Amino acid sequence: MSKKGLNSNEVKKRNRSKILKILRNGKDVSRKDLSDQMQLTKAGISTIVSEMIEEGVILETGSQENSGLGRNRITLEINKQFGYVLGLSLTETHLTLLIANVLGETVDVYSQAYSQLTNIETESLLNLIIEKSLYLLWSHNIDKSLVLGFGIGYIGGLKNIDLSRIKIEVEKRLMIEVVSDNNVKALAMSQMDFTQEEESENFLFVKYGPGLGMAIVQKGSIIGGVDNRAGEIGHTIIAPHLDTSCRCGRKGCLESLISEKGIIKDLEGIGGDYLDLILDKGRSIIDYQQVNKLLELEDETTLSIFQPRYDYFAKSLANSIILLNPEYVCVYGSIFNETEIFKMIHDRINDYLGTNTNVNLKLSNLDLNNSARGSVALALRYTFYNTGAFKESIIETLKTL
């Protein structure tokens, strides 16, 4: 391909991508609206839109009354049946597989705890992923040719699971493009791309429980770092004098100090009624509603377990805010839905920041029970929105991942 041809494709991809993002985030958008927002001529927009309508990427859906002279303006929207993506979330305890349309709307979901499987080696897990992916497509009569991509979101330190092999084999066996990333970064993409109230392009996305992670969003992009490990707040050293070990190999890192596994161990050591706070030991799930009530009652035992942990967390987050200067921090996790816990963390962060720096903690509105939403956003970003649904560009983009 000539240099001129490549530049032409890049311009086409960029313009189509902008159109899709405007349509995704807005309602009652007309050609004139696109022209105004993109600063392109009406003729230029009309040519691009006509091509995308012909390909079935977008639809004409209605008309707006024109207060002036001339015809009513025709409104446009993305054709949500243009294609679908599969999203897979892999955690320490279970997998979740999701199929969604190009608007990120869930079609169906499958979840499986590893404890219910006889074997969680790479090959058996891979066979399960392939089997359930094909079943989800078959049960909704979705032809595999309509599947644009497959996103995989994962946590670090998965034992006995070869993520690179899973990615390669899923791509080979299903014959679709696969893109993977850390699950927190994937969730941050979902927060940006499929949350109507998300307006900032400079914020921190923090996931707490089980485990801890952070994504750094600057100018609408997620900072990866040299080895895609930027934002690993859970593995910052907060108390090196304490004899704690972590899967990262360090001592005194934040995640080892505040993890649900450690909390459960403390609760088991105390015993009695405090064991009722453990909802699911295998999946490290704690009843934070009851914890919140006990904290409101200033129960000394509960305070002794949770207050120091939230203090460690607040200290690390305050340092991240000072270093990265975000507009706000978007927090994701069931603990943040509890008033007393949220207040305790928020107050401690403010204490560490002092009077000259304020923090705005914003609750994520993503589904806490479906982390595969992040994997869907990951797949859609790279195989649909960033490429403008321009087939040649999809292939070029995925080659760089």
Residue predicted with more confidence, 144 or 238: 144
Is residue 400 over pLDDT 60? no
Q: What is the pLDDT of residues 328-364, one digit of tens each?
A: 999 999 999 999 999 999 999 999 998 888 778 999 9
Is residue 235 over pLDDT 60? yes
Q: Could you tell me where the beta strands, DSSP code E, fall in 7-121?
A: 29-30, 58-64, 73-78, 84-90, 94-101, 106-113
Is there a contact between 387 and 394 (Cβ–Cβ < 8 Å)? yes
Residue 237 confidence class, pLDDT cut points 50, 70, 90: confident
Q: Which residues of 63-95 are buried (b: 16+ CB within 10 A; e: fewer)?
A: eeeeeeeeeebebbbbbeebbbbbbbbbbbebb
Q: Which CATH superfamily is domain 84-182+370-399 in?
A: ATPase, nucleotide binding domain (3.30.420.40)
CA distances from 183 to 84, 92, 170, 214, 298 (A): 20, 12, 18, 10, 35
- Residue 240 tokens read as 């090196």
- Determine the straight-line distance between the first and last CA of the chain, rounded to whole angstroms: 21
35 CB neighbour count, 10 Å cutoff: 17
Is residue 221 over pLDDT 60? yes
Is residue 371 over pLDDT 90? no
3-state secondary structure of 394: helix
Cβ-based burial of 269 (10 A; exposed 0-12, middle 13-18, buried ≥19) = exposed
- Output the pLDDT for position 314: 95
Q: Which CATH class is domain 3-78?
A: mainly alpha
Is residue 187 over pLDDT 50? yes
Q: What is the pLDDT of residues 130-168, one digit of tens each?
A: 999 999 999 999 999 999 999 999 987 677 788 999 999
Is-same-fold flag (3-78; 84-182+370-399)?
Answer: no
Q: Which CATH superfamily is domain 196-363 in?
A: ATPase, nucleotide binding domain (3.30.420.40)
Q: How far apart (Å, rounded) are the C-alpha atoms in residues 23 and 46?
A: 15
- Residue 194 tokens read as 């499929």
Mean pLDDT, the chain, rounded, equals: 88
Mean per-residue pLDDT for 220-235? 88
- Output the pLDDT for position 396: 55
Q: How far apart (Å, rounded) are the C-alpha atoms in residues 158 and 120?
A: 11
- Output the pLDDT for position 241: 74
Is there a contact between 309 and 257 (Cβ–Cβ < 8 Å)? yes
- Output the pLDDT for position 252: 75
Least Cα distance to 27 among 72, 61, 68 occurs for 61
- Output the pLDDT for position 257: 84
- Output the pLDDT for position 1: 45
- Output the pLDDT for position 71: 63
- Output the pLDDT for position 236: 86
Residue 37 confidence class, pLDDT cut points 50, 70, 90: very high
Is residue 220 over pLDDT 50? yes
> In the chain, what are the domain boundaries?
3-78, 84-182+370-399, 196-363
- Output the pLDDT for position 200: 77
